[in-house]
Amino acid sequence: MTPAAPPRLAGRPATLVIDGQVDVGRALLVPRGELVHGCVDILAEALATLPADVERVDLDMGDVLFMDTAGLQFLDLLGGYSQRQAVPATATNWRGQPLRVLELTGLDTTDPLRATAHRSPPRPAAAAAPSAVAAERSAVAAERSERLHVLQEEVEQLRQAIASRPVIDQARGVLMALHACTSEEAWHILREASQLSNTKLRTVAAAVTASAGSDGPPPPAEVRAALRTAVGRLGR
């Protein structure tokens, strides 16, 4: 059977596309980019293009570079599709930050869909006391809330790190030019100046970069002093 390849799907946001092909009843979808707001709609479009006689759907997640809580909704949609269509679905080959998100949320890091796909129906049991049921639900809700809070904090830290990267790289270049040091030494200067002045690393980097211009303002006094100390410790 000749593989049938659905068209490349671009959507909202442009940070995610899903490539795919169908061969002998197996659909292989490859998301590339980020699982952020809008990724659920893009997956829905991809699933809608699959032929009615598809026998299984496998997602290779190796090219997903970042995900936030929208990625969990992405997985919910895929799991729901699997149940409604009565076809197996997998999402494997997780790496990097998305893998960390799965760990934080307590999902199977090999295939987060596996736990729900093979879950057996609950056995009938004697009714529990209302107070016991309420306590159990409260404990589960508290645990999920804590995991979500940790996940949201880590996602925000990653976003800040990504946003800070350009200015930090520029500051390293300025220090390398001024002090004839290596990139690694420039990084140590920035980090030590940040610690000595009790100033955020991004703020120190922005001050260094701004001061490099012909009419740029000098860094604040405490940052200047910390930079001098850090440079001096390198023997520059």
**Residue 143 falls within a domain, yes or no?**
no
Range of the domain at 90: 9-115
Same domain membership, residue 107 and residue 16: yes
pLDDT digits (tens, 9 = 90+) for 86-134: 999 999 999 988 888 888 778 899 999 885 444 444 455 555 566 665 6
**Domain holding 82: CATH number?**
3.30.750.24
The verdict on residue 24 lying in a domain is yes
Q: Which residue has the higher pLDDT, 74 or 143?
A: 74
Q: Which of 58, 86, 115 is the last residue of a domain?
A: 115
23 and 82 in a single domain? The answer is yes
The pLDDT of 170-177, averaged and rounded, is 88
Predicted local distance difference test score (pLDDT) of residue 163? 58
Checking if the pLDDT of 4 tops 80, the result is no
Which of 90, 115, 140 represents a domain boundary (last residue)? 115
pTM of the model: 0.50
Give residues with Cβ within 8 angstroms of 46, minimum separation 6: 6, 9, 18, 20, 29
Q: State whether 102 and 181 are in the same domain.
A: no
- Whether residue 129 lies inside any domain: the answer is no
Is position 122 within any domain? no
Q: Identify whether 136 is part of a domain.
A: no
CA dist 235 and 177 (Å) reads 16
Residue 166 lies in a domain: yes
Residue of 218 and 121 predicted with greater confidence = 218
Q: In this structure, what token pair is assigned to residue 81?
A: 């599709």
14-64 residue pLDDT tens: 579 999 999 989 999 999 998 988 899 999 999 999 999 999 999 999 999
Work out how many domains the chain is built from and give that number: 2
Which of 115, 142, 166 is the last residue in one of the domains?
A: 115
Looking at every residue in the chain, the average pLDDT score rounds to 81
Residue 146 belongs to some domain of the structure: no
Residue 66 lies in a domain: yes
